Amino acid sequence: MQDEKNLIEEKPSAMVKVATFVVDRRNLFFLLFGIAMIFCLIATRWVKVENALSAYLPESSETARGLDRMEEEFITYGSARVMVMNISYEEAAEIADEIEARDDVYMLSFDNSESHFNNFSALYDITFAWPEKDPRALEALGEIEESLKGHDLYVSTSMGDAAAEQIQSEMSVVSVIVAVIVVSVLLFTSQTWAEVPVLIMTFGAGAILAAGTNFMLGTISFVSDSVTIVLQLALSIDYAVIFCNRYKEEHTRYGIREADIIALSKAIPEISSSSLTTIGGLIAMLFMQFGIGKDMAICLIKAIFLSLLSVFLLMPGLIMLFGKAMDKTRHKDFVPKIPFVGKVDYLTRHTVPVIFLIVAVGAMILQNKTPYVYGYSQIETPVLNETQIANNMIKESFGDSNFVALVFPAGDYEKEKKLLAELDRRPEVDHSQGLANTEAMDGYMLTDKLTARQFSELLDLDYEVAQLLYMAYAVDDENYAKLINGLSSYSIPLIDIIMFLYDEVEEGYVTLDDDMYETLADAHSKMQMAKDQLQGENYSRALVYLTLPQEGEETFAFLDEMHEIAASYYGEDVMVVGEATSQYDLKKTFDTDNTVVSVVSILAVLAVLLFTFMSAGMPVLLIAVIEGAIWMNFAFPAVQEKNIFFLGYLIVSSIQMGANIDYAIVIAGRFMEIKDSMPRKQAIIETLNFAFPTIITSGSMMALAGFFIGQLSSDGAICGIGQCLCRGTLISIFLVMFVLPQILLIGAKIIEKTSFKVSVPIRLDKVSGLVRVDGVVNGQINGLVVGEVHALVRGDVNAIVRMGQMVPAEEDALKEALEKGVEA
């Protein structure tokens, strides 16, 4: 192999120079990757994860603007719904008294109505004395749970990160299972045992780098955090497999180092080109209004780029380390040849394309009827976490609770009272709760206006003191007309005068006896918490409890009506915020994102395929097959009448178009390469035999990864992505194996006629002696020729090499070829 070595060293191309540097400086790259991986293992702790889907709504959406306004204006106190089953009402009442007596509990709702006691189950609505993000609120809930440990207990709360911890635990299990699957598939599809650790270490390095660099993005979504590594594996394992196969091919003619260099020089452009279709599909998600699309696209594109770096910079060195072991651990090929598939495809070449067209059109119509949902309330997942179980148990005994926050300008209590009264009269509203209809003391609402006499009677306060207090309030309020006209008719909202009196007492202007002060302090504390939650500096809010489900056309229609009702009192400066509104906003973004993702992913992949095949017909045929697979994938939920989370469509359709089309490219590229050198039937058989190992390796990993994500995740979004990814990958594999070949056979002429290949400059190569000729040549060969397509020549070769190569060969190669020819 000395001649080949000399050829590499004497006439290196730019890519060979790069490959030589990478291979010969492998220790440097081992060191750099080692340092980077250690850093990234530490940096994974710095990654911040956002667990709310609403955080990724467009800034212009009502939910996003409403949440920002509420965060600025109000304080939301921690709350929880605690259900205790299998107890009598007397026991439930005792528990209620114990919970209400706690200093860390601001308010407890419990009575003998069916809303709180039903079927020997008690439901306690607890509001804590601390904001929901204050750890003391979560600690208080923990103490209540501990005190009720002996009971059949279910707790539902939005406090803490229990759901996030559950998702992380589930995905850890999925990652282990997927790792076992990867090793198993690689062992099955490998040709040498020692190549498996090379592939695993290459991917492992890319995965660690991807996970550890997420901190640079600031905050990532819980969806990206959960599934990026698994999807990275499914999307990028092909790159390492392609390079490994290229090395084994070159190693039949070259030594380990030389084969490594030549394989890398050829693999860099080949793999980079292959990755472009995947990246093209992911780019479509960057154009989504819903921010999780952009978040996932950036995470996955970064992961693919780092996987490419691992293959190009780390894997060549690993091959040098394991090269001899790979030579010694060769084994028989476990992946079978599948000539029967090619034969069936050839026989059905005239019927299958027609059937596919009919099925694809039907699937397109059906998938438009897929029941997409935008929240978790109508999604069933294969497994349930503790929070979901608790919510289901509470819902079963006491029904579902669906409320929204209505935010409107503050200051006019009369308008607020009328607005809430009008909403309460609507059948879609169970009840509302705002300052204007919340009872404070002795039947008075918080915003009811009291005269000085009424106030003195309410608090058993001396009337003269009450008058002086009202006078001081009028001065503070700059309402001097009341001082002139008399205070007898001057009335002040109860919450305002209580807050004012408390401040006066605290500042020492008013003195009260101990009992009176205790009553005032208790009233002030409760009113202050009510005000914190329901009235800000510029805006007030009211909670409106609906009799409608969280999502649905009826719910969304009533949200619009609420806007109209509130606008009749306060103008357009009103907002409705809640789960129902969030899902309504998600529906609006989906209507646009659906079109954008489909169009951009097709255009991006089309651009890559145009320059890959230099034909206008080929990209159209390949995209038609994969788009058909996408339609069929999402027609299944329509047929099953099974709700599917909208995010599954947006993400999986992009991945299908960007990644699954690689399977079609492998088949199409190989068929176009050999179709003119043999009969079409034999060409399609050889094509499928060639492509099957690659497709089964990558496809089985992606399908199984999706399957386990879909079966083991309790989160509706993640579960939906996994289920759709598994089903979509299996459909894509089936179509490229049993439909695409027939389309290529029928459409070969169209592909050729729409070709716009640029002719390469004519290059006349002259080589003498023993020469290996691989490729399509046009020229004169003088000497003994052994071979049909690939030839060994002893003599002079003076020819134009249009495709392939001519390189000097060894004597042993000619002797071996002659022996094979005699045997034949």
- What does the pLDDT look like over 501-560, one tens digit per residue? 888 888 888 888 888 888 888 888 888 888 888 998 899 999 999 989 888 899 999 999
- The separation between CA 50 and the C-alpha centre of its own chain, rounded to angstroms, equals 12
Residue whose tokens read 């750099």: 32
Q: What is the mean pLDDT of the chain?
A: 85
Residue whose tokens read 């990644």: 659
Helices and strands in the chain, H and E counts: 30, 19
pLDDT score for 409 = 93
Q: What is the mean pLDDT of residues 193-220?
A: 91
What are the DSSP calls for 426-468, one per residue?
STTEEEEE-GGG-EEETTEETT-EE-HHHHHHHHT--HHHHHH
Tokens standing for 762? 């004519």
pLDDT score for 525 = 85
Residue with the larger pLDDT of the pair 179 and 820: 179
754 to 615, 758, 806: CA distances (angstroms): 5, 13, 30
Which residues, in sequence order, are CB contacts of 247 under 8 Å at separation 6+? 259, 260, 263, 319
What is the DSSP secondary structure assignment for residue 335, as one 8-state letter? Answer: S
pLDDT score for 386 = 83
Give the integer Cα–Cα distance in Å for 578 and 404: 4
| Band (822; pLDDT cuts 50, 70, 90) | very low
Q: What is the CB neighbour count within 10 angstroms for residue 158?
A: 13
Give the integer Cα–Cα distance in Å for 102 and 455: 30
Q: Give the phi and the psi of residue 789 in degrees, each rounded to 5.
A: -105, -50
Of the listed ranges 142-151, 587-596, 666-675, 791-800, the least confidently predicted one is: 791-800
pLDDT score for 772 = 65
| SS3 state of residue 329 | coil
Measure the CA dihedral 11/13/17/20, to 10°: -70
| Band (798; pLDDT cuts 50, 70, 90) | low
The residue type of 567 is A
| Band (168; pLDDT cuts 50, 70, 90) | confident
| SS3 state of residue 492 | strand
Which residues, in sequence order, are CB contacts of 578 under 8 Å at separation 6+? 402, 403, 404, 405
Instruction: Report whether 765 contacts 799 (CB < 8 A).
Output: yes
Q: What is the mean pLDDT of residues 724-748?
A: 92
Give the integer Cα–Cα distance in Å for 208 and 308: 13
Instruction: Report whether 502 contacts 520 (CB < 8 A).
Output: yes
Instruction: Report whether 48 contacts 220 (CB < 8 A).
Output: yes
What is the maximum alpha-carbon separation in the chain?
128
**In this model, does residue 685 exceed pLDDT 60?**
yes
728 to 223, 363, 500: CA distances (angstroms): 19, 13, 65
177 to 238, 689, 711: CA distances (angstroms): 19, 29, 12
| Band (786; pLDDT cuts 50, 70, 90) | very low
**In this model, does residue 267 exceed pLDDT 80?**
yes
Instruction: Report whether 658 contacts 296 (CB < 8 A).
Output: no
**In this model, does residue 819 exceed pLDDT 70?**
no
Residue with the larger pLDDT of the pair 801 and 471: 471
pLDDT score for 752 = 81
Give the integer Cα–Cα distance in Å for 556 and 562: 10
Instruction: Report whether 536 contacts 74 (CB < 8 A).
Output: yes
pLDDT score for 201 = 93
Q: What is the mean pLDDT of residues 761-783?
A: 57
What are the DSSP calls for 250-304, one per residue?
HHTTS-HHHHHHHHHHHHHHHHHHHHHHHHHHHHGGGG-SSHHHHHHHHHHHHHH
pLDDT score for 806 = 62
> Quick one: which H or E segment has residue 645?
strand 644-645
Handedness of CA 676, 679, 680, 685 (dihedral sign): negative
Give the integer Cα–Cα distance in Å for 266 and 251: 13
pLDDT score for 631 = 94
Residue whose tokens read 């969280």: 550
**In this model, does residue 421 exceed pLDDT 90?**
yes
Percent of the chain with pLDDT strictly greater than 70: 89
Instruction: Report whether 440 contacts 495 (CB < 8 A).
Output: yes
Of the listed ranges 49-63, 137-151, 175-189, 746-760, the least confidently predicted one is: 746-760
| Total count of residues recorded for the chain | 824
pLDDT tens per residue across span 341-390: 999 999 999 999 999 999 999 999 999 899 998 888 888 888 888 888 88
pLDDT tens per residue across span 546-577: 989 888 899 999 999 999 999 999 988 999 99
Distance in Å from the first CA to the final CA of the chain:
27
Tokens standing for 392? 């289901």
Give the integer Cα–Cα distance in Å for 802 and 11: 20
**In this model, does residue 735 exceed pLDDT 90?**
yes
Q: Give the phi and the psi of residue 759 in degrees, each rounded to 5.
A: -65, 135
> Quick one: which H or E segment has residue 727?
helix 716-738
Give the integer Cα–Cα distance in Å for 284 and 275: 15
List the beta bridge partners of residue 775.
804
Q: Give the phi and the psi of residue 253 in degrees, each rounded to 5.
A: -120, -20
| SS3 state of residue 794 | strand
| Band (675; pLDDT cuts 50, 70, 90) | confident
Q: What is the mean pLDDT of residues 72-101?
A: 91
| SS3 state of residue 569 | helix
pLDDT tens per residue across span 618-649: 888 999 999 999 999 999 999 988 888 888 88
CA angle centred on 524, ends 520 and 527, rounded to 5°: 140
Residue with the larger pLDDT of the pair 742 and 762: 742
Half-sphere exposure of 691 (CA within 13 A, CB side): 28
pLDDT tens per residue across span 598-613: 888 888 888 888 887 8
9 to 193, 254, 632: CA distances (angstroms): 31, 13, 52
- Is the pTM higher than 0.95? The answer reads no
Q: Please list the alpha-helical segments (H only) found in 329-407.
A: 339-347, 352-367, 386-398
The residue type of 62 is E
| SS3 state of residue 808 | strand
116 to 113, 125, 150, 312: CA distances (angstroms): 6, 8, 20, 64
pLDDT score for 802 = 46
